[in-house]
């Protein structure tokens, strides 16, 4: 197994321990992930991906796929294996006439947002610009436009995919339709996506973020009112809530006409203030690009991280009481984000993504710097989120961590798992792609 043989087949760069750029390449978003691949292959095109994949299989090397590196588990970084680094493949090409974007597999959300907003267009993308387009889309893709335009995966027209045998295929509604179905929510189980084609929507890029802050001791009733109002919110509004320490913020993010947004926020303020006066109001008009980058520093790459998440069809009072039981040390921060709208318009059978009847996504996310706190932080997050699991209707596959097969059963129904397994049997019967939230082929 020699580096020279690998370099002869790759148009991009090959990095090994000690090389300039190697440590940067192996460093991902979660600072708990500190692994050392034997090689990092910085791919320049789909042919490089296919060559790297063949090399890994021929030499019995574990391999992982890196784009943004935001996966909480760090599957992209195989210790002693081969990392396929897609980041050199980061181009975004927009056709404003057809309202389509071709996005290479290593692109980050920020590149997609900038390129599309130049033409007054956008498609649903996540909330942190240094997230990879690939991982977000393959798991589903929630963002501020989802209640208007559907999830990121709902806006994919086609995928270019390198499959387990090194073939390069295009998956769409007409070509490889079962693979196309599985890639929209089934994660990285079926191949390496080297190009996405997205449908775009006219979006002038005007947004408002509004937060109303309360001490935790008096926040329960305002949050109940916020929950009730979310059920009838316009699709331009995504209701959000966060709990950090003893600070509770409830509000919404509006993407659309600013006058209508201002009226919706004023109405929310009146309704909340009738229950309890907030200690602070934060209302920020901003561009769509500013909205898409405002959490970049908070979600930076230098923190140790762990999270647990749930989907809820409703936030009943008993569940919210549990959310506010925050007396022990090291409790994680909480975020709640409303679903519904265009997400629920898509029939659940149309894509691998599941649980479209979700009303709210809940994430308990811990971040810290001291490695000595690892077990205490993770245990607290497990206990806190575990107390609410009996109310959950499932979980988002992109938020699964160390959940194994039990996590997959939360993310997909039995029927969906059976269909995904059939696609796995057809495209990856040897489970070559297993460093992921793994859907095993039936023979394994």
Work out the pLDDT band at 402, boundaries 50, 70, 90.
Answer: confident
- Tell me whether residue 225 is in a domain: yes
- Tell me whether residue 438 is in a domain: no
pLDDT per residue over 44-99, tens digit each?
Answer: 999 999 999 999 999 999 999 999 999 999 999 999 999 999 999 999 999 999 99
pLDDT over 90 (residue 125): yes
**CATH number for the domain including 310?**
3.40.462.20
The stretch 31-39 carries a mean pLDDT of 98
Give the residue from 29, 56, 85 where a domain finishes.
85
Statement to judge: residues 220 and 319 lie in one domain: yes
- Tell me whether residue 378 is in a domain: yes
Q: How many other CB atoms are there within 10 angstroms of residue 325's CB atom? A: 11
pLDDT per residue over 213-257, tens digit each?
Answer: 999 999 999 999 999 999 999 999 999 999 999 999 999 999 999
Give the residue from 66, 85, 104 where a domain finishes.
85
Structure letter (DSSP) for residue 40: E
Q: Which residues pair with 338 in a beta bridge?
A: 360
Statement to judge: residues 30 and 154 lie in one domain: no
- Tell me whether residue 432 is in a domain: no
**CATH number for the domain including 58?**
3.30.43.10
Statement to judge: residues 334 and 273 lie in one domain: yes
Statement to judge: residues 169 and 226 lie in one domain: no
Statement to judge: residues 307 and 384 lie in one domain: yes
pLDDT over 80 (residue 29): yes
pLDDT per residue over 275-304, tens digit each?
Answer: 999 999 999 999 999 999 999 988 888 999
Statement to judge: residues 160 and 226 lie in one domain: no
- Tell me whether residue 151 is in a domain: yes
Start-to-end CA distance of the chain, whole Å, equals 27
Structure letter (DSSP) for residue 398: G
Express as a percent the part of the chain with pLDDT over 70.
100
In this structure, the chain runs to a length of 444
Statement to judge: residues 98 and 163 lie in one domain: yes
Express as a percent the part of the chain with pLDDT over 90.
96
Q: Are 179 and 136 in contact (CB under 8 A)?
A: no
Statement to judge: residues 272 and 391 lie in one domain: yes
Give the residue from 51, 85, 119 where a domain finishes.
85
Query: What pLDDT score was predicted for residue 236?
Result: 98
| Torsions phi, psi for 322 (to 5 deg) | -65, -40
Q: Are 89 and 45 in contact (CB under 8 A)?
A: yes
pLDDT over 80 (residue 444): no
pLDDT over 70 (residue 321): yes
94-102: long-range pairs with CB below 8 Å, 24+: 94/118, 94/119, 94/121, 94/200, 96/121, 99/199, 99/200, 99/201, 99/202, 100/157, 100/197, 100/198, 100/199, 100/200, 101/197, 101/198, 101/200, 102/195, 102/196, 102/197
- Tell me whether residue 442 is in a domain: no
**How many domains does the chain contain in total?**
3
- Tell me whether residue 441 is in a domain: no
Name 317's Cβ contacts closer than 8 Å, sequence gap at least 6: 224
Query: What pLDDT score was predicted for residue 298?
Result: 83
Identify the H or E element spanning 243. strand 237-244
- The boundaries of the domain holding residue 60 are 3-85
Helix (H, G, I), strand (E, B) or coil at 361: strand
Q: Could you tell me whether strands 13-15 and 39-42 are parallel, antiparallel, or unpaired per DSSP bridges?
A: antiparallel
Statement to judge: residues 262 and 359 lie in one domain: yes
Statement to judge: residues 97 and 22 lie in one domain: no
pLDDT over 70 (residue 382): yes
Query: What pLDDT score was predicted for residue 265?
Result: 98
Query: What pLDDT score was predicted for residue 149?
Result: 98
Q: Give the sign of the dihedral formed by CA 65, CA 69, CA 75, CA 81.
A: positive
The stretch 140-144 carries a mean pLDDT of 98
Statement to judge: residues 266 and 311 lie in one domain: yes
CA neighbor of 192 nearest in space, from 174, 165, 173: 165
- Tell me whether residue 408 is in a domain: no
Please give the Cα distance from 265 to 382 (Å, whole number). 34
The answer for 29, left when phi > 0, alpha when psi is -120 to 50, beta otherwise, is: alpha
Statement to judge: residues 383 and 421 lie in one domain: no
Q: How many other CB atoms are there within 10 angstroms of residue 323's CB atom? A: 23
């Amino acid at each position: 197994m020699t580096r020279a043989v690998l370099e002869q087949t790759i148009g991009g760069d090959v990095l090994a321990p000690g090389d300039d750029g190697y440590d940067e390449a192996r460093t991902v978003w979660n600072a708990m992930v500190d692994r050392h691949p034997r090689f990092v292959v910085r791919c320049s095109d789909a042919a490089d991906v296919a060559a790297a994949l063949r090399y890994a299989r021929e030499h019995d090397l574990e391999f992982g796929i890196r784009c943004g590196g935001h996966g909480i588990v760090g599957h992209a970084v195989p210790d002693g294996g081969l990392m396929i680094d897609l980041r050199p493949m980061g181009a975004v090409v927009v056709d404003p006439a057809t309202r389509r974007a071709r996005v290479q597999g290593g692109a980050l959300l920020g590149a997609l947002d900038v390129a599309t907003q130049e033409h007054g267009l956008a498609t649903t993308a996540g909330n942190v610009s240094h997230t990879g387009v690939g991982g977000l889309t393959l798991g589903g893709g929630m963002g501020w436009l989802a209640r208007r335009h559907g999830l990121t995966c709902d806006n994919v027209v086609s995928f270019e995919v390198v499959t387990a045998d090194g073939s390069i295929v295009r998956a769409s509604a007409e070509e490889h339709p079962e693979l196309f179905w599985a890639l929209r929510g089934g994660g990285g189980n079926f191949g390496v996506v080297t190009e996405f084609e997205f449908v775009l929507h006219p979006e002038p890029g005007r947004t408002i973020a509004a937060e109303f802050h309360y001490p935790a001791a008096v926040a329960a009733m305002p949050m109940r009112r916020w929950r009730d109002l979310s059920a009838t919110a316009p699709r331009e509004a995504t209701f959000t809530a966060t709990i950090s320490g003893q600070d509770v913020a409830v509000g919404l993010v509006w993407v659309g006409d600013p006058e209508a947004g201002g009226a919706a926020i004023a109405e929310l303020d009146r309704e909340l203030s009738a229950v309890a006066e907030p200690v602070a109001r934060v209302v920020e008009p901003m561009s769509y690009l500013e909205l898409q980058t405002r959490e970049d520093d908070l979600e930076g790459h230098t923190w140790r991280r762990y999270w647990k998440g749930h989907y809820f069809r409703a936030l009943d009072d008993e569940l919210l009481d549990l959310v506010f039981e925050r007396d022990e040390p090291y409790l994680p921060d909480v975020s709640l984000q409303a679903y519904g709208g265009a997400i629920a318009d898509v029939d659940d059978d149309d894509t691998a993504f599941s649980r479209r009847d979700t009303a709210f996504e809940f994430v308990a996310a811990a971040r810290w710097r001291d490695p000595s706190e690892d077990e205490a932080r993770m245990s607290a997050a497990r206990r806190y989120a575990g107390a609410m699991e009996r109310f959950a209707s499932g979980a988002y596959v992109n938020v699964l961590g160390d959940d194994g097969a039990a996590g997959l059963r939360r993310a997909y129904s039995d029927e969906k798992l059976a269909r995904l397994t059939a696609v796995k049997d057809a495209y990856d019967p040897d489970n070559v792609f297993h460093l992921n939230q793994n859907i095993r082929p039936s023979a394994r």
